[in-house]
Amino acid sequence: MKRRRKNPFLLIGFFFISSYCMAQQWRIQTDSLLKAGKKAIAPVEQVKYFTDAAFIFLLQDPDTSMLLYNEAERFATSNGNDTALAMVYAGKSAVYLMKDNNAMTMEYALKALKISERTTLPPDVLAAIYRKLGYVYRNTNQFAKAIDAYKKALAYSEASNNSYDMATTSSNIGNIFNSFNHYDSALVYHEKTLEFAHTGNYKDIIARTYIQIINSYNGLKQYAKSFQAVAAMRPYLVLPDVMPLTKGLGYTKIASLDMQHGSPRHTLAAMYLDSMKRLMAITSPGKDNLLEYYLNRALLEFSLNHYDSARAALERYNDLKKQRDDEIISGHAQELDTRYESGKKDARIKDLDQQNRLRKKLLFIAVTASAIFLALLFLLWRQNKKIKKQEGHLNYLMKELHHRVKNNLQIVSSLLNLQSARIDDPQAQKALTEGQHRIEAMSLIHQKLYQTKTTSRVNIQEFIAELSENLMHAYGYKADNFNLQLEIAVKELEADTAIPVGLILNEVVTNAFKYAYRQVTDPSLYISLEEHGGKLQLTIADNGRELTEKSWRLSASFGRQLIHSLTRQLEGSMQLNCDAGSVFTFTFPVKPVQA
């Protein structure tokens, strides 16, 4: 039987008509409330009508909402009614919360609480105020204060018997406990949230709560219970009352759990990644959801040997991740620029004020001169402090970038490891393993970059020790049957020197472990890095007999080409002596250390 195709023009028309009808409904509701407010006699009733109208506009048009709250504040102030004024302050706090203005959100919430010290306010108003405070405290990483504020909000919501507020407030408490890894406490409030949500039949909240329960059990490593929570959540993911964003979160959470701890066939992951794909065709499930989707899709396709699909998913994941990282960096840069401009304005205002004082105190030249001198010192100190703070912030961003690069390289290394385990061709498997070692060497350098105090220099001593020991263990040697000697006189190198030096070291040492010790009973490896007269000298020596200078010159291997290419990149030279084992000596010019 043929399926009838839907007319796209009818669908477009339906959306336009729906939007128009919704706007008309908001206009009718607000007009009705405003007319009733003008006719009301009691101040609380007047304010109530205006705040209800403002609340309708809160999500759609915060500026119009603020205008209505200002009008409501005029009514409340002129009549001296504390309860009405507290309602207005709670509403203004909500508008600033929508605008992500933490300072103003807290200011108006505290103004409303100040009124509660002299006037008994309705519990639903107090609950709303404490929820705003909890949100701000959470945004500013004040964990204890956020929990305390939300618990007070929950108590007032229970007093007003508002099941929706009870459910959302309890959910916020559980989510905060989750974010600080207090999973047992989080589960207590997730269970409360489910109880409140079932009472009000809030299906979307129920689905979101199960997602948080899965996160809690994952944090406790109780994966069997995580899958029980998945089974309880699944019926809700097909309901029309559950929002697309919530469904997307649920799909990716199930897929991620199944890929990490599910059956080898990953049936659940395949099913819900397909559901996510269908959801993406009709709505935007959010950038974080898309990142989770493409990463899990890549892993699933690799596990099924669908390498082209896996590669496409991984490329899409990397594109989205770069976009998100660029947005984060852009946001930080914009914040720094705003702070800098604000600092310049403050300095200008203070300078003008200082000039005015000088005009008024001409008789006190000596005192004024001293004041100017001290003020200039103070301004210089503040400017220096501000610059240091900006440098610290930029340093943090660079460390975060190196950390993300390291994580991405580890993901690629893991994917290569997965792929090599499924390949039977020894040559292909060998190539993938060598590629994995090269990626791990680069990952180790980026790890050292974000672990050091600076973001431009690498602790080369730690890097060489860790890399050589990792390779020794990777090829089956231990400290008691292998003589590893390190003499690293140079502590740090610039990153653009350390990366090619690290790759050269990885290639030579890997080659030694693979071939040099086949006929050697007491294998040894000597590595030194010294600086002489503006030159770096890297020496790598083994006691094997397999390599000869002639075979090295005639070799067309990728490793030899890579070593020569990296040596040229560093404008250096290489010497090989095979009289008593293989001794590679590399000499590079020392680049000036960047401050």
Nearest one of 163, 175, 99, 164 to 134, comparing CA atoms? 175
Nearest one of 133, 129, 155 to 144, comparing CA atoms? 133
Residues 166, 124: contact at Cβ < 8 Å?
no
DSSP state string for 93-127: HHHHHHTT-HHHHHHHHHHHHHHHTTSPPPHHHHH
Distance (Å, whole) CA 8 – CA 280: 18
Q: Any idea which residue has 């009818």 for tokens?
A: 10
User: Given 3-state DSSP classes, what are the helix, strand and coil percentages for the chain, each rounded to the nearest 5?
Assistant: 75, 5, 20
Residues 134, 168: contact at Cβ < 8 Å?
no
Domains of the chain, by residue range, sit at: 476-595
pLDDT at 261: 87
pLDDT at 1: 40
pLDDT at 308: 74
Beta strands in 228-348 (DSSP E): none
* Residue 323, SS3 per DSSP: helix
Residue 562 CB-density burial (10 A; 0-12 exposed, 13-18 middle, 19+ buried): middle
What is the architecture, at CATH level 2, of domain 476-595? 2-Layer Sandwich (3.30)
Distance (Å, whole) CA 518 – CA 542: 12
Distance (Å, whole) CA 318 – CA 21: 41
pLDDT at 527: 93
Helix/strand/coil (H, E, C) string of 16-54? HHHHHHHHHHHHHHHHHHHHHHHHCCCHHHHHHHHHHHH
For every one of its 595 residues, what pLDDT tens digit does the chain have, with 9 covering 90 and above? 444 444 433 333 333 333 333 344 445 555 555 555 455 555 566 677 677 777 777 667 788 778 878 877 887 787 777 888 888 888 888 888 888 888 888 888 888 888 888 888 888 888 888 888 888 888 888 889 999 999 999 999 999 898 899 999 999 999 999 888 999 999 999 999 999 999 989 999 999 999 999 999 999 999 999 999 989 999 998 898 888 888 888 888 888 888 888 888 888 877 877 777 777 766 666 666 677 777 777 666 666 666 676 677 677 778 777 776 776 666 555 555 555 555 566 566 666 767 777 777 777 776 777 778 777 777 777 777 776 666 555 555 555 555 565 566 667 656 666 666 667 777 676 666 666 666 766 666 666 555 666 666 888 888 888 888 888 888 888 888 898 999 999 888 887 888 888 888 888 888 888 888 888 888 999 999 998 888 899 999 998 877 888 888 888 888 888 888 889 988 899 998 888 888 999 999 987 655 4
Give the number of other Cβ atoms within 10 Å of residue 547's Cβ.
19
Q: Any idea which residue has 């890097």 for tokens?
A: 463
pTM higher than 0.95 for the full model?
A: no
* Residue 573, SS3 per DSSP: strand
DSSP symbol at 543: -
Distance (Å, whole) CA 181 – CA 187: 11
pLDDT at 175: 92
* Tokens read off for 117: 């010290």
Beta strands in 371-459 (DSSP E): 457-459
pLDDT at 128: 86
Residue 46 CA, chain-centre distance (Å), reads 45
